[in-house]
Structures are given as C-alpha cells and as structure tokens.
C-alpha cells in the first residue's frame, strides 16, 4: 500500500492512510502521528490541508461511505431479478475478518458522540437500507418475491445479517459464521422467489 500512497498527492495520502487506520484501529486508536507516518507526510503538511484530526477523519469517513455505497449500488442496481441482486450483494467479495469499514465506526464512542463524524455513517447505512427496500419492492411488484415480505423489514434484515456476520466472524477468527449467516438468510428468502 505504501508505494500506491506515495504516488498520490499529500491530501490524498492523508485521507487514504486515515481510512486504513480507522478501519484497523478505530477513531480513538488513530493518532495524527500514526496518520502522518502511514502517509509519509509531516505534521505541517497535515495541518496545512486539514484543520485537525476530526476534519481529516470526516474526509476519510465520507470517502469510505461513498465507496461502500457505490459498491452496493453496483450489484443492487444491476439488471436481473430482485433475489439475484440481493444474493449478489450478500455474496460479493469482502474482507470479512477486518469487518465493515463503516459499520465498525458505530462501535467507536467518539464517532457516535461527534454528530459530524456520525452523519456519513448513518447516511450510508440508511441509503443502503432504502436501496435494498427498493429492490425488494421491485421483486414484489414483478411477482418475483412473496407478497408477505415487508420491503423495509427485509432490507433491515439484510443489513443486520451482514453487520452481525462481521461481528460473529471477527469473534471466531474465521469467516465461517459470516458465510453461515448469509447462507441462512438466502435460504429464508429463496423459497419466496418465484420459480421461472
């Protein structure tokens, strides 16, 4: 990663280094010194481009949230039946043992206590639930899914399965609990998919 960072501008290196550190250490564990070392930037450069740790963290969290949203939209916005798009979202490649780079921030008391830092986290998870609910609604309208599904509740279940799966996998030191949770949810949804 270091060689990739060095080809970027200083502000970009600082943001990318902060993203990685937030993912691995959380907000509390991400010190300005660690960011500067990871980015190969001096203190003066950091404070020239960002007002301080909260300002830099906000830029990093926004970037991570945008990336997460774009990755989800790439599969949820694709052509195909609703079940297939939900399945693609659940089965997409993830670094399961690292956890969700956005979801992990919800465990950080300083992020939760800072409304500006919490806002992008809330927004992206809200947009994800809304987008999943739209996909479920499309499936219901097309007769692909059972009319007994509630779009908002199903969307919340999908997000909770992914986020909870990360927690279970990290606790076990294995991705097996994540994969098991995803398979279980897909099995619950599959019988409701109309056969073609």
Secondary structure letter of residue 144 according to DSSP: S
Please state the pTM of the whole predicted model.
Answer: 0.88
Architecture of domain 59-192: Orthogonal Bundle (1.10)
**Mind listing the pLDDT tens digit for each residue in 46-78?**
888 999 999 999 999 999 999 999 999 999 999
Question: What residue segments make up the domains of the chain, in order of their start?
Answer: 59-192
**Mind listing the pLDDT tens digit for each residue in 34-47?**
999 999 988 888 88
**Which single residue is written with the structure tokens 């939900």?**
86
């Amino acid at each position: 990663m270091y060689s990739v960072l060095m080809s970027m501008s200083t502000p970009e290196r600082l943001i990318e280094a902060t993203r990685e550190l937030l993912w691995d250490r959380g907000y509390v564990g991400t010190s300005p010194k660690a960011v500067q070392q990871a980015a190969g930037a001096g203190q003066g450069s950091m404070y020239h481009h960002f007002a301080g740790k909260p300002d830099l963290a906000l830029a990093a969290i926004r970037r991570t949230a945008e990336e997460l949203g774009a990755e989800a939209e790439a599969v949820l916005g694709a052509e195909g039946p609703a079940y297939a798009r939900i399945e693609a979202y659940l089965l997409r490649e993830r670094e399961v043992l690292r956890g969700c780079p956005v979801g992990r921030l919800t465990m950080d008391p300083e992020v939760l206590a800072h409304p500006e830092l919490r806002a992008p986290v809330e927004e992206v998870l809200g947009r994800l639930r809304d987008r999943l609910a739209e996909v479920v609604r499309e499936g219901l309208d097309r007769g692909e899914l059972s009319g007994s599904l509630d779009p908002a509740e199903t969307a919340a279940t999908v997000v909770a399965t992914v986020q909870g799966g990360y927690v279970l996998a990290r606790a076990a030191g294995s991705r097996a609990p994540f994969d098991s949770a995803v398979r279980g949810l897909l099995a619950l949804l599959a019988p409701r998919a109309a056969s073609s």
